[in-house]
Amino acid sequence: MRFEATVHGIVQGVFFRYNTRLRAEGLGVVGTVENRPDGTVRIVAEGPRERLDEFLAWLRVGPEAAVVDRVDVTWSEASGGYGAFRILR
């Protein structure tokens, strides 16, 4: 499965991307995380549904310094285009 999520709140400048990558790697999830110009963080993740559900639950809380207001998510079939989990910008 695959999801694309946008995380809103205090999520930039709080090691959100770094911790997101660590969590994804620990779960065996592949994809990307990046800061967006509007102050949100965008995540594309692919993997088994159970692992993605666990990952999404973590994104709704984030790392200790973050304040997550909401997470917008859309689900689809995996593209298979990712070999690892990477931080983009």
- Active site residue ranges: 17, 35
The beta strand positions in 28-87, using DSSP E, are 30-35, 41-46, 67-76, 85-87
Q: What share of the chain is helix, strand, coil (3-state, %, to 5)?
A: 25, 40, 35
